[in-house]
Structure formats: C-alpha cells, structure tokens
Amino acid sequence: MHEEPEVAVLRYGHRPGRDDRMTTHVGLTARALGADRVILPDNASQSRATVADITDRFGGPFEVEQTAELDATIDRWSGAVVHLTMYGERVQDVAGDIRQRHRSEPLLIVVGGEKVPFEVYDAADWNVAVTNQPHSEVAGLAVFLDRLFEGRELAQEWEDAENRVVPQASGKRVVDGDGAADES
C-alpha cells in the first residue's frame, strides 16, 4: 500500500447535485481501501471537502485533489492505467498482470460517471470489468482495490487520526487519537 508505488483514483466526470454522493463515496472508498490519492473533477469541490474532512478526522495518509484536465491526467500519467468498465476484461483474469506491473510502477485507476469517451478505453493499459454486469463505480472500485491488494488493505494503519473506531461485536466505541474514550 503506502510503501509501494502510488495508487491514484481518477473520478472521470461529475454532475453537481446528482453525483455528489457517488463522487464523495468514490473518494471515501479509495481512501478506506488503500489508494494513496483521489483526483476529482474541478466541479466536485463539495465532495473534495467531505473527503478531506473525513481524512482529518479518521487519519491518513491520503490526498484529495481536483483537476480541470481529466484527459491530460491520464495522458501524462507515468505508470500503468486501469479503466474500470463493465465492458472490459474480467478482473479475475487480469489482476495478476496488473499486480505484477504495479510492483514497479504507479497505478492510475479511472472510474466513470455518465458516459466515458472511447479515448479513455484506448488510453488505458487495461479495461477491467468487475463482472460484465452494470453496477456502480463505488462497487467496482472496492472490489478492484481488494483484488489489487489481496486483502492487505483491510489491515492498514492510520496516522494522525482524531478519531479511532474500536471494533465491537455490538454498540459503538470511538476513542480519540491518543486513546481517550469518547463513547456514544
């Protein structure tokens, strides 16, 4: 994860209002499941603020950025590019090759919103499907990251957290960063 070559997630497209929750959840899922950075479109400032706030409260390292240049972000990426799409190759068939490449190179994972132009399919090193059925960018990203990291992301440590959740069989227990109880 954070000691390996970088993994960044690019949210390709955002419709303010309609996509706010989905774009926020792309960022939160990228953070929770081991990516180092999410890059959001320039019209997704509300989602950026929410993801940054969660990172402040629950820890990092994790970066959230915005760009007006989605295509240039892909074109200028120095590393491998994966585009998640229901039309792609089956994740179970290509995950091994992607993991192998990621051992030595940064990885950019592109997830769409509305329609993704064909140029993105062309620019990607892999177009990857998490099943060839339509579902969501959040679900696709979660399964892909878990396949990429082979479950190691579930045990990651968080730095500089204000809040830390203590796993409970029942109820909620949250302690602050230095371990003081803050139960609710």
Ligand X SMILES: C[S@@+](CC[C@H](N)C(=O)[O-])C[C@H]1O[C@@H](n2cnc3c(N)ncnc32)[C@H](O)[C@@H]1O
Residue numbers of the site for ligand X (CB under 6 A)?
84-87, 111-113, 116, 129-131, 133-137, 140
Query: Closer to ligand X at the Cβ: 58 or 77?
Result: 77
Using CB positions, name the residue nearest to ligand X: 112
Angle at 72 between CA 69 and CA 75, to 5 degrees: 160
Query: Closer to ligand X at the Cβ: 80 or 161?
Result: 80
Query: Closer to ligand X at the Cβ: 125 or 137?
Result: 137
Rounded to the nearest whole angstrom, what is the least distance from the CB of residue 116 to ligand X in the complex? 5
Rounded to the nearest whole angstrom, what is the least distance from the CB of residue 112 to ligand X in the complex? 2
Instruction: Count CA atoms within 13 Å of residue 129 on its CB side.
Output: 10
Name residues whose C-beta falls within 8 Å of residue 32's C-beta, 6 or more positions apart in sequence. none
Query: Closer to ligand X at the Cβ: 51 or 110?
Result: 110
23, 44 in Cβ contact below 8 A?
yes
Of 39, 47, 86, 37, the closest CA to residue 66 belongs to: 39
Tell me the sheet residues that pair with 40. Answer: 66
Whole-angstrom Cα distance, residue 30 to residue 38?
7
Name residues whose C-beta falls within 8 Å of residue 93's C-beta, 6 or more positions apart in sequence. none
